[in-house]
Structure 1
Amino acid sequence: MREKLIKISPKDNLLVALADIKAGESVTYQNETYLVKNGVQVKHKIAECDFQEGDVVVMYGLPVGKATTFIAKGEVITTKNVIHHTGGFSSEASEYKWTAPDVSDFKDRTFKGYKRKDGKVGTANYWLVIPLVFCQNRNIKVLQEELESQLGYKHKTSHKINLDVLKEASAKGASAEEILKMDVLNLNSEKQFSPFFPNVDGIRFLTHEGGCGGTREDAIVLSKLLAGYIANANVAGATILGLGCQNAEVKYINGFLEEFGVLGKKPVHILEQQQSTSERNFIAEAVKLTFAGLMEANEFKREDTPLSELLIGLECGGSDGFSGISANPLLGYVSDMIVTLGGGALLSEFPELNGVEQNIVDRCIKTEDAEKFSNLIKTYAQRAVEAGSGFEANPSPGNIKDGLITDAMKSAGAALKGGASPIVDVLDYTEVVSKKGLSLLCTPGNDVESTTGLAGSGANVILFSTGLGTPTGNPAVPVVKVSSNTVLAEKMSDIIDFNAGTIVTGEHTIREKAIELLELIIKVASGEEMVKAENLRQFDFIPWKRGVSL
């Protein structure tokens, strides 16, 4: 580590600690000396100058807080001396220019994808088994147990718990203290099966708590989300189980499939239990229809495909004080590369665009998109206030502990995932991407709700940055987990796919790591490398009910 402090933007009046600094230690940065009286932990910030009460705190070149008391130069910034604050914005865009990255080395590169009848290309070939309503979750689980075990889709897990060791020790009179010292991990103990359908990458079973009760709007939104999953290029077809009287009606699913241009172009089998003579016959019919669908899905084979068919979802979760320095700008650079190559990128998490709205507005190519974004985020913010909260409540305890003490500070770093390319479209939740380039998608900041939305809107690969670590994955889209720091990458190597921590230490530039990450994306998109979430069978699916979720 060459420095202990770093300043991200010339406009900033905060410095980020790149290492722990002891109380009373003097640290020099760019010929200026800072006395850190109380010490500062790595990733946290110190004042570059004296702040008076009410002074605006700036980071990433943007207002991210306001001093609530006098803060001396070199003093640590905390929730006790700084509160959330952002600058204002309007829906009127200023002139915007950007410089596209050099992608000459990737111009003629391809990945091996699955070409669908609607013209889209998938990075995987999945069959979905979906409930229209929560009371079908048990039947989904029954189908999962039978189909996965008998068709060879039970992956070898990285670990399996061996309770026999503990049972035998207990029977022999072992104490609780002795039990706690025993090794119960039986590594690689589960048999690896070979899929009966070699060209089908997996059968994915979604469960949820919706489809009935709640509001009719909730059921319609859920139907549109499920239709979006079926329309995703990574999906060959689906088996859908309903009861028959639920609010999420079959007509909604078919209507949205037609809207998304896949009705009749993908096999979709819908069964309703109230039309069956027994649960046993209902399950048997679902098994036969799914098997027939898998036969059709197995006809697809991977083909060389230009990188312009990549649609990258951009997500972050468990962010830390380094996320905005390494992992998020790295994702942004890769996003710009994909866009320059003719592909698409999708930026979500509207609560984490709080404070950078004007930059987003300025980047919108069309006035109507700038206005749509402004209306969506203002409405979202107002609903949060009406619920007795607000965007300022977005940072989690883990975020704050690792140096992200205001939502504006978190958002300014999180927004970097979207790179610098112009914005070609603004989508509300469950709307599907229809244009190449960078689009925005209104979702919560909640990791799984947002990732669920990205897949439902068409992403065929998701890049997920994290500084604290999270196992989040998705049933329909491979999720590439990018660590902001090397400590996390080494500590949680079973969930991290890529380490961006060497950007913080100065070992690599963002461009160097972006080239390396794009190479990994190509391997993942070609089925040559499995992401860690897939290996751990971390298939998270949580629909957003459009309530207040930060």
Structure 2
Amino acid sequence: MSENQKHTYIQIHPIDNVLVALTDLKAGTGIEFNGVQFNLVSDVAAKHKFTLRALEEGDPIFMYGVLVGKACLSLPQGISLTVHNIKHASESFALGKRKTEWTIPDTSRFENATFMGYHREDGSVGTANYWLIIPLVFCENRNVNMIKEALTEKLGFKKPRGYESEVDSLLSMYQTGKTVEEILQADLQKSPHELGSGKIFSNIDGIKYLSHDLGCGGTRTDSDALCGLLAGYITHPNVAGATILSLGCQHAQASILKAEIDKRDASFSKPLYILEQQQIGTEEKMLQLALKQTFTGLMQANKAVRSPAPLSKLVVGLECGGSDGFSGISANPALGTLSDILVSLGGSVILAEFPELCGVEQEMSDRCTDETLANKFMQLMRTYNARAEADGSGFFANPSPGNIKDGLITDAIKSAGAAKKGGTSPVTDVLDYPEKVTRKGLNLLCTPGSDVESTTAEVGSGANIVLFTTGLGTPTGNPITPVIKIATNTNLYNRMSDIIDINCGTIIDGEENTKQSAERILDYVIQVASGNIQPKAVGLGQDDFIPWKRGVSL
């Protein structure tokens, strides 16, 4: 194979019977692979797959060394795979032998590395220092917004750039008689970022407001899970304290929240103020009390300062969204290598998005350190998929239109690439939403594949950094944990530079290998964790927070 051919298509695993196009390939293009020569019989877009040999209807299709689909009809050698000629398929799974042997990576470069974090009394270390204001029920969202309007600018906390000046330009053109065509062609005045008048509390990164639409009216399971999730945020190392607004009569009772906090931190000592409107009386009385308590809490939180912490104090959430056909061969494997490095250093990583582990269940269950964990993982996968199928949409329906357009045409193809984020280390724990990470190493957390719900859950379980790979471009962030966006391809990195932090398209371009990319990302993580670099999602105020209703969400 020529050097040029090596950079136009690849085989991911030796048993794969499809190749991946790294660039757009035209019908008639000559393919030479392992002594086999043929011409493409169709155009193949970059990121998509084509057959290495002819297939009959029903024949299995392998990628990443696992079953990812079956041919819907007879396929000639060299044809592009599409939703019309293959369908989702994955192997069955059962309790197997433990396969926890793995090759520990060279971590010498990071052995003595530290980050500057906020040390909490429970032994955890934060990468940021926030105050939370949380409604226990959606009825209190308005009051939370009233507090937000009162505090943000007065305390000098940064606001994302608004578009008021653009609207002023439009009004001015309208008032001076500009035509529709002239307005559409005009350049609008761009407003600067709004910064407030200077931070009053210099050691606090901000006040975050976790509005939501839950707490009552749904199932008790959902309200209990909400309390667990909120307790995860309140006890999170990136949080200094919290103000909770409760109506009083809702399912999500303050007593349930307190029990969930105690479950996560029996010696909880952060400032925590819980106000119940039905007990206090008028809105004005409650909001004045909330403001006084919050302000005094901020005075206490401002005493925190950063100091050195080992990398073993990092809990890294692994996420992907807007994935493409390069995700599984560039950014996701890079995160897998980083995960293995961090685990070797005594840190923790979280691999979530259970619909995107469909097809690799056997591998992940075999990697569990004991049979109890393996059985828990398999039971969660089966139960989740069965509930989805009962509603007419199993894991097979997980790929989005964007995924499919960019080469992820079955859930198993998507999953086999997504699982690469978890590296090769043993699975030390399996968590059901919204359980907290308590063990070092690789943790599996049951969440949807939905970007915001999954990121929200990972942070609730303790992630103090989230690494988020994307091939199409996703602006997701989190209120309290820095979310670092990693592009799978250089084109995306250049096109959406306002939301992307790191480019792993360098792997596709042949400029660096997976290990080099992983170490570059970890260097960046250390700077973000120390407060020296602000990821794009943080600067944009991308404070996405969506609790998972335990009903079906893929």
TM-score (norm 2): 0.97
Give the corresponding residue for 2:166: 162
Aligned counterpart, 2:488: 484
> Deviation of residue 176 (structure 1)?
1.3
CA contact (8 A) 1:154 1:193 kept: no
Match for residue 219 of structure 1?
223
| Aligned residue runs from structure 1 range 293-372, under 5 A | 293-372=297-376
Letter in 2 for 1:332: G
1:186, CA displacement in angstroms? Answer: 1.0
Partner of 1:538: 542
Matches within 5 A, 1:9-88: 9-88=13-92
Moved more, 520-529 or 185-194: 185-194
Q: C-alpha deviations, 1:5-33, integer Å up to 9, x for none?
A: 11111110110000011222223345533
Report the identity percentage: 53
Give the whole-Å Cα distance in 2 for the aligned partners of 1:267 and 1:440: 31
CA deviations over 1:21-67 (Å, ceiling 9, x no partner): 12222233455333122211110000000001110000000000000
Q: List gaps (5 residues or longer) in structure 1.
A: none
Give the drift of 1:190: 2.8
Q: Which moved more, 1:275-284 or 1:308-317?
A: 275-284
- Offset of 1:355 from its aligned partner? 0.3
Distance in 2, Cα, partners of 1:51 & 1:133: 55
**Whole-Å Cα distance in 1 between the matches of residues 268 and 353 of structure 2?**
33
Q: Report if aligned partners of 2:162, 2:191 keep a CA contact under 8 Å in 1.
A: yes
Question: Equivalents in 2 of 1:93, 1:22: separation in Å?
Answer: 45
RMSD value, Cα: 1.3
Partner SS state of residue 361, structure 1: helix
Aligned match of 2:511: 507
CA distance in 2 between counterparts of 1:517 and 1:380 reads 33
- 1:156·1:192 contact (CA, 8 Å) conserved in 2? no
Letter in 2 for 1:188: P
Q: Which amino acid aligns with 2:359?
A: G
Q: What is the CA–CA distance in structure 1 between the aligned matches of 2:193 and 2:396, rounded to whole Å?
A: 47
Aligned residues: 550
Partner of 2:464: 460
| Distance in 2, Cα, partners of 1:170 & 1:412 | 54
Amino acid at match of 1:214: G
Distance 1:421 1:41 in 2: 34
Structure-2 residue corresponding to 1:439? 443
1:244: Cα distance to partner? Answer: 1.0
- 5+ residue gaps, structure 2, are none
Quote the offset at 1:223 in angstroms. 0.7
Stretch deviating more after TM superposition (138-147 or 274-283): 274-283
Measured after TM superposition, the shift of residue 108 of structure 1 is 0.5
1:93, distance to aligned residue in structure 2 (A): 2.8
| Distance in structure 2 (CA, Å) of the matches to 1:154 and 1:512 | 35
Query: 1:110 corresponds to which residue?
Result: 114
Native 8 Å contact 1:118 1:262 kept in 2: no
Structure 2 equivalent of residue 426 of structure 1: 430
**SS of structure 2 residue aligned to 1:482:** strand
Residue in 1 that maps onto 2:141: 137
Aligned to 2:31, what secondary structure does the other structure show? strand
Length-normalised TM-score, structure 1: 0.98
Distance (Å, rounded) in 1 between the aligned partners of 2:250 and 2:162: 39
Contact 1:315 1:463 in 2 (8 A): yes
Correspondence 1:517 to 2:521: yes
1:240 corresponds in structure 2 to 244
1:119-173: CA deviations, max 9, x gaps?
1111111110000000111111111111111101124538765212111111122
Deviation at 1:264, TM superposition (A): 3.8
Question: Does residue 386 of structure 1 match 2:387?
Answer: no
Instruction: Report how far residue 251 of structure 1 moved.
Output: 0.4
Aligned equivalent of 1:269: 273
Structure 1 counterpart of 2:454, from 450, 456, 465:
450
| SS of corresponding position for 2:466 | strand
Residues 26 and 425 (structure 1 numbering): CA distance in 2 closer, same or farther, change over 3 Å? same
Q: Aligned-pair distance for 1:265?
A: 1.3
3-state secondary structure, aligned to 1:338: helix
CA distance in 2, matches of 1:171, 1:34: 66
Query: After superposition, what is the alpha-carbon deviation per residue over 1:203-231, rounded to whole angstroms, capped at 9, x for unaligned?
Result: 10010000011111211111111001111
Cα deviation, 1:239-291, whole Å, max 9, x if unaligned, reads: 00011111100100110111111554111100011122321121111111111
Partner of 1:149, secondary structure, is coil
Q: Is the Cα–Cα contact under 8 Å of residues 169 and 189 in structure 2 kept in the other structure?
A: no
CA deviation after TM superposition for structure 1 residue 459, in Å: 0.5
Distance verdict in 2 for CA 1:517–1:185, change over 3 Å: farther
Alignment of 1:250-289 (within 5 A): 250-261=254-265, 264-289=268-293
Greater CA drift, 257-266 or 102-111 = 257-266
1:98 aligned partner: 102
1:51–1:438 CA distance, 2 compared to 1 (3 A): same
- In structure 2, the residue matched to 1:195 is 199
Q: Whole-Å Cα distance in 1 between the matches of residues 407 and 365 of structure 2?
A: 28
SS at match of 2:174: helix
Q: In 2, distance between residues paired with 1:412 and 1:503?
A: 18
2:143 equivalent to 1:119 = no
For the structure 1 residues 173 and 262, does the alpha-carbon distance in structure 2 shift closer, same or farther, using more than 3 Å as the test? Answer: farther
Q: Which moved more, 1:32-41 or 1:13-22?
A: 32-41
Q: 1:323, 1:85 → 2: CA distance? A: 20
Deviation at 1:179, TM superposition (A): 1.0
1:332–1:420 contact (8 Å) kept in structure 2: yes
Over 3 Å counting, the alpha-carbon distance change for 1:305 and 1:189 in structure 2 is closer
**Per-residue deviation, 1:187:** 4.5
Please say if residues 18 and 63 of structure 2, whose CA atoms lie closer than 8 Å, have aligned partners that are also in contact.
yes
**Matches of 1:408 and 1:372, distance apart in 2:** 21
Cα distance change, pair 51–193 in 1 and its aligned pair in 2 (3 A): farther
Q: Deviations over 1:282-333 (max 9, x none)?
A: 1111111111111111111000000000000001000000000001111111
Local SS of the residue matching 1:151? coil
